[in-house]
A and B are shown apart, each in its own frame.
Chain A
């Protein structure tokens, strides 16, 4: 496994700037998730590292080796795409064995069988090993394509939304598995998603991308508890952070334009009146949609609250975030 670095990487497609001077260090053995909405530059970053695209400026190293001019094959990376691509005429087993059968790797047959068996077990496809790849459901095909990356031992795994086509149950199982595999094997993993649960639960580090710029890089907890901007703060947390004019509540510091309130930053039962507009019972939590001085906000309350539409509940901020006019956090 290896460290990956990006230094001043920029890329434009015609007039569109996809990546703007991105510098990032992905430490050996870390699980880095790139997070951002469609068009933020997540997939472009992945393609730069893989060698599928070439940066306009800047350079990339993997394991201390500069990658300039190297093809994807020469970079020793394993990619998993959102859209699985399997060899349709081969069985699941043959698909999984394929990367190991490369004459360059000289893997023994026993070793191949051991690895394929192990990966199939983890991905819950052992019983399908002798099926034709085309006789699988979409979720199973995606697991095989993840498996094909896992049987190898590349410098770095690159994954582009590998779980987004799977159903909820399988996604949650595979989140735990992927994280476990990564932690126990010490693999370096660069992973793209727009699903914040995946980012929060798997990443050792999250890179928040905004219009091609890397705006924050840190552990999920750092980004959640210490965001640099409204944009970064809005990437993580369900319900989403409430962003309101700072002047709505007393105590805003000089220069504060907006106040950011996550549910745990709103104390209920103290402070000023707000009106309950809607109570959403989600089972484990109950969300309150509140109207406060003509602004809407959403917070979380006890699952068995007696509150209902039209009730008044007092609220007060507790250690809120403040942001300036540009959306930058004031510390």
Chain B
């Protein structure tokens, strides 16, 4: 298994830059997520790791060896696509053994490895069946089997669950993660689904417009986003942004929004002009005695919790509170924010201001 290191990798298609100077490291045995909206360069990055595209500049190291300009066949990785293609005229066992036989591995050895893979995936019972009549899940397991059987250094997966319906997707994502925990193979996984990334990943890279916005542990990225884009892309509903105009300085521990004063983690840098006060929905409390008021314009029941949309002097805001609280549309209530969790951003560049709370993640992360 393998460590994959990306250094200053750039990819241009004609005048279009798909990926700009990306650098990050996938450690041996990690389940690593490349996350971003469509067109952000995540699939291009994955294809460059695979050797299906060659970088315009920069280096790609697999286990310390520079492979950036080598073709896919010399990299010993397995690629699982969104649309799994199986050979329709072969049965399940032959589909799985095909990559081995085409590499010239003896039949007895191939049979042994297919049996082993079938056991891992729980498909021993269908090895003799034609692939035509299989359910979506079994087809996916066969496709995975074909990737696993080669025992490659790493698995690269491009939205392998993208085409499945919600219920089945949830099931397969658990199965894939459990499979990874058993095998410990380095896996790089592309998705545009933030929940899938948070759920399955050991680490996440968030990309936008060909740029790596942030990379690190899921919880760290969620709590301490480096940019407004990350804060908005991760979390559902996303982080709330209250716009304000003002000035903040190093060492300050509070800011003023529409005459109300709010405590924030101690700032490590200053900024002035258009600023943003960022707070996650679950860090908002309803408190009638609080001076900062919001008007309830919608409630959305979610079982354990509910989402309340407020109109505030600084824009719309969504709060997540327990379903046991009774909240009526049209009511006016006071709002308080958990001061320990606040992130401030510069409105223009969308960069998070360093504070005592986030510097650990943003400087070292």
Contact = CB atoms under 8 A, between A and B. Distances in A.
Contacts of B222: 281-284
A207 interface: no
Contact of A283 (B177, B218, B323): B218
Contacts of A179: 298, 300
B218 A221 contact: no
A187 interface: no
Contact of A280 (B167, B199, B329): B199
Contacts of B320: 284
Contact of B301 (A200, A264, A283, A284): A200
B282 A236 contact: no
Contact of A221 (B37, B167, B234, B301): B301
A283 B302 contact: no
A284 B298 contact: no
A300 B165 CA distance: 24
B235 interface: yes
A238 interface: yes
A9 B194 CA distance: 41
A263 interface: yes
Interface string B296-339: 01101111100101000000000010010000010000000000
Contact of A194 (B166, B170, B195, B281): B166
A262 interface: yes
Most chain B CB neighbours (cut-off 10 Å) among A175, A195, A201, A300: A201
A167 B37 CA distance: 9
Interface in A65-91: none
B199 A282 contact: yes
Nearest to B299: A201
Contacts of A307: none
B308 to A, nearest CB: 11
A251 B219 CA distance: 38
A283 B223 CA distance: 7
Given A175-B300, A176-B298, A284 B165 contact: no
Interface of A is mostly: mixed
Interface string A248-262: 000000000000001
Interface residues of A, number: 38
Interface string B233-244: 011111000000
Contacts of B170: 240
Nearest to A195: B166
A176 B198 contact: no
A314 interface: no
B280 interface: yes
A284 B302 contact: no
B160 to A, nearest CB: 19
Given A194-B166, A195-B166, A201 B302 contact: yes
A237 interface: yes
A281 B198 contact: yes
B300 to A, nearest CB: 4
Contacts of B303: 200, 224, 236-238, 262
B263 interface: no
B360 to A, nearest CB: 14
Contact of A281 (B218, B236, B280): B218
Contacts of A172: 236-237
A278 interface: yes
A224 B302 CA distance: 9
A223 B282 CA distance: 24
A104 interface: no
A36 B280 CA distance: 32
Contacts of B12: none
B181 interface: yes
B300 A200 contact: yes
A267 interface: no
A3 to B, nearest CB: 24
B219 A201 contact: no
Interface in B262-305: 280-282, 297-298, 300-304
Contacts of B217: 281
Interface string B213-231: 0000111001100000000
A202 to B, nearest CB: 8
13 contacts: A37-B167, A180-B298, A194-B165, A201-B300, A201-B302, A262-B303, A264-B304, A280-B198, A283-B234, A284-B222, A284-B280, A284-B281, A300-B304
Given A38-B165, A200-B300, 18 more contacts: A172-B237, A176-B300, A194-B165, A194-B167, A200-B301, A221-B301, A224-B301, A280-B198, A281-B219, A281-B222, A282-B198, A283-B198, A283-B218, A283-B280, A284-B222, A284-B280, A284-B320, A303-B282
The 6 closest A-B pairs by CB, nearest first: A283-B222, A201-B300, A281-B219, A284-B282, A282-B198, A224-B303
